[in-house]
Homo-oligomer: A and B are copies of this chain.
């Protein structure tokens, strides 16, 4: 098969970790006789510096023409403490999500047996954890009307959801639950918010189409508790944009393997695959960042975007082998030898 992949390395450690995923993907293509055409494009702070805009039209065209987008990370500290900055890297991310129609962010959380003791949580609390949070990504308070009144002394943001937006996300959740344990949890704040009541009502109406799925409804504050108490009691969770932002980050801590967690964003026009970690500016350019989350995001891409399960499984197997043999970066090496980002990538590619 032949694929066009848009390559958005972004800021900070983005370019370094993306490089390793490219090496591994090329090794896969060679082994399985696929052809990959990579097209690089700029985004984030890097794009602001070059063309004054974090998600330029040229980048958007490249993404629209691609079969999938492989994404590194964006964000730069020089924008963070300036509430009045008018152009920020994050705007690029939001614009990209909206223009590509990336309506569902899929965030698996699972444990690696060899790394389980890195977790801040006790082993017995997290063993067997294998959950997926499906976060709605193009609606809610992220994209509602916002502004100031009263000479700037009053600010407002609006959270809006339509039944169709909720159905689209929930459908994915029900379908995912059907392929897993048939348990779905709808996370909302229906005891306060009208949008949450629409979420709950819509999901309740859909239950009849999936009679085998057991649906529970939980408040976001209760989930924020139970996620760190009994993460392995969850399977598929669906939620709105802002709750998803908070809960996916909270969940990323559970496994103790944040540097290994991949994610995908399913879109109307294309899909995007990225590590869940940020741009980690302190490490940029040092060849020390852990590339495994990005490599595992490439595995998700082969499986979910191209339907190539065998290819994906091979990548995962080689990643597990690198962990077992200690071919890892300094965040995971403990008192053993730490490998460079590029060395880990080379090793993985060679072992494909």
Q: Is B81 in contact with A217, judged by CB distance below 8 angstroms? A: yes
A150 to chain B, nearest CB (A): 7
User: Does A204 sit at the interface, judged by CB under 8 A?
Assistant: yes
Q: Is A147 in contact with B249, judged by CB distance below 8 angstroms? A: no
Q: Is A200 in contact with B125, judged by CB distance below 8 angstroms? A: no
Q: Is A225 in contact with B204, judged by CB distance below 8 angstroms? A: no
Given contacts A121-B228, A198-B155, contact A90 B148 (CB under 8 A): no
Q: Is B120 in contact with A228, judged by CB distance below 8 angstroms? A: yes
Given contacts A121-B122, A228-B121, A228-B250, contact A155 B222 (CB under 8 A): no
User: Does A176 sit at the interface, judged by CB under 8 A?
Assistant: no
| B-facing residues in A221-236 (Cβ within 8 Å) | 221-222, 224-225, 228-229
User: Does A94 sit at the interface, judged by CB under 8 A?
Assistant: yes
Q: CA A220 – CA B94 in complex, angstroms? A: 17
Q: Mark A159-191, 1 if CB is under 8 A from B, else 0.
A: 111111000000000000000000000000111
**Chain B positions within 8 Å of A204 at CB level:** 83
Given contacts A155-B161, A157-B159, A158-B157, contact A194 B250 (CB under 8 A): no
Q: Mark A245-276, 1 if CB is under 8 A from B, else 0.
A: 11111101100000000000000000000000
Q: Is B90 in contact with A191, judged by CB distance below 8 angstroms? A: yes
Q: Is A155 in contact with B228, judged by CB distance below 8 angstroms? A: no
Interface 9-residue window, one of A138-146, A281-289, A291-299: A138-146
- Where the two chains meet, the residues of A that have a C-beta atom closer than 8 Å to any C-beta of B are 80-81, 83-84, 88, 90, 94, 120-122, 125, 141-142, 144, 146-148, 150, 152-164, 189-195, 197-198, 200-201, 204, 217, 220-222, 224-225, 228-229, 242-243, 245-250, 252-253
